Chains A and B, each alone.
Chain A
Amino acid sequence: EVQLVESGGDLVQPGRSLRISCAASGFTFDDYVMHWVRQPPGKGLEWVSAITWNSHTIDYADSVRGRFTISRDNAKHSLYLQMNSLRAEDTAFYYCAKGTGPYYGNFDSWGQGTLVTVSS
């Protein structure tokens, strides 16, 4: 069974940094593209970033490009999101999601999310 467990969400002041993580199990992690998708409380879904199985291709939403960095450690079956220069509008549940293949497509498994709150 696929399991994705996010961690690291916290209350952080605007302009500060935070790194969140996702521990994956139940599938061959290095066969799949991985994503971060976020959802402000009570609002809709927004894709944030993707990283291919070999980390050779990385994409970001315009809203986070230049501030967020996605990475993965296939040996540790883990996905990360380094978030810098955080803004109030970054407040959201951040979900780790598994892609349907090594490069692109849809999201076939999701974690339960970790809450990042940006506020002074």
Chain B
Amino acid sequence: EIVLTQSPGTLSLSPGERATLSCRASQSVTSSFLAWYQQKLGQAPRLLIYGASSRATGIPDRFSGSGSGTDFTLTISRLEPEDFAVYYCQHYGTSLYIFGQGTKLEIK
């Protein structure tokens, strides 16, 4: 079974800074089904990135995804106050639908 491990568990940054979030798979996965979600407190998750690097509808271009094989990255180029939230990576494959444990992005 594939496991997705996100790091760091918590990331403390200031508005305007660049955020880099990591998602590592226990074995090589298909980039086509690697996605990133944002979840703000008390809200449902929202799709940010699909296919490892494609932005979902309405997602600002400060969000970008990259990676392949076992290592994937979500980058937020310049943090806005509304970006502080929990971020999850997710993959569909032979292990069906797997989520990482999440990275909490908090205001420093």
Contacts and interface: CB of A to CB of B under 8 A. Distances in A.
A111 B45 contact: no
Query: Which residue, A45, A95, A106, has most C-beta atoms of chain B within 10 A?
Result: A106
**Interface residues on chain B, size class:** 20 to 34
Contacts, number: 54
Given A45-B99, A47-B96, A95 B88 contact: no
A32 interface: no
A44 B88 contact: yes
A26 interface: no
A108 B50 CA distance: 9
B33 A105 contact: yes
Interface in B26-71: 33, 35, 37, 39, 43-47, 50, 56
Interface in A81-120: 95, 100, 104-113
A35 interface: yes
Given A45-B102, A107-B47, A110-B45, 19 more contacts: A35-B97, A37-B45, A44-B88, A44-B99, A44-B100, A44-B102, A45-B37, A45-B39, A45-B88, A45-B90, A47-B98, A47-B99, A50-B96, A104-B92, A105-B92, A106-B50, A107-B35, A109-B47, A110-B44
